[in-house]
Amino acid sequence: MTEIHTPRLLLRRWHEIDDLHPLAEIHSQPEVMRFLGDGSVLDADATAGRIEEWEEEWDDEGFGVFAVELLGSGELAGAVGLTVPQGLPEYAHEVAVTWLLGRQFWGQGYASEAAQATLEYALQDRGLERIVALTKSADEASANVVRKLGMTFEKEITRPAAGPSDAEDTLRVHAIDLTEYEA
Ligand SMILES: CC(C)(COP(=O)(O)OP(=O)(O)OC[C@H]1O[C@@H](n2cnc3c(N)ncnc32)[C@H](O)[C@@H]1OP(=O)(O)O)[C@@H](O)C(=O)NCCC(=O)NCCS
């Protein structure tokens, strides 16, 4: 069972039942979902599907997206971890770090703390060669996290529309490898 303790957080695998309601509450917040996928909020059914997909990725790949729990209160603050980017064939063999916190948990350094621990896990413990971050160009909060992680800007790419209600947009690609991480 993979678990990581940081000074303020527990990163752990998902609890299908107990995490459903708090994650669905986070997924119902438009400002949280604005820069994720097509920008839509997710309901409880879609949230259950997301937890299932993340757990499958853990089982299949040996890495995945962690549930982020506050050590003090045991509250679920969000989801931070590793995933193979979907819908971008050029990145089908890459591993991306991703993050999402409930609105009430922003501005306290939790995303950076969890993402830093995720990079250490990916590059040092799991021996992955490099980790990318794919962030929408208007997503300033994520740009701030990427900068604090010391990731290097590579290029901008176009994310194609995922369906009729979606529009294509620009993603910024940043990356880091073990040498850069340890520098
Ligand atoms: C992206 C996201 C996770 C960033 O959250 P965040 O709270 O802004 O990021 P951090 O946790 O790193 O916190 C940043 C701020 O917390 C404060 N902070 C940092 N460390 C702190 C500490 N130890 N104690 C208290 N506050 C602290 C600082 O004000 C810091 O900002 P600064 O570095 O500019 O000074 C959040 O905006 C989010 O969930 N967005 C929606 C999901 C999303 O779009 N994800 C993108 C997928 S790639």
Which structure tokens are listed for 121?
A: 């896990």
Q: How far is Cα 118 from Cα 101, in angstroms, rounded to an integer?
A: 15
From first to last of the 183 residues of the chain, give the pLDDT tens digit. Answer: 689 999 999 999 999 999 999 999 999 999 999 999 888 999 999 999 999 999 999 999 999 999 999 999 999 999 999 999 988 989 999 999 999 999 999 999 999 999 999 999 999 999 999 999 999 999 999 999 999 999 999 999 998 877 777 778 899 999 999 999 988
Among 23, 42, 101, 172, which residue has the most ligand 1 atoms within 8 Å of its CB, making it the best to mutate?
Answer: 101
Which structure tokens are listed for 30?
A: 């438009």
pTM of the model: 0.94
Determine the atom of ligand 1 nearest the C-alpha atom of 96: 48
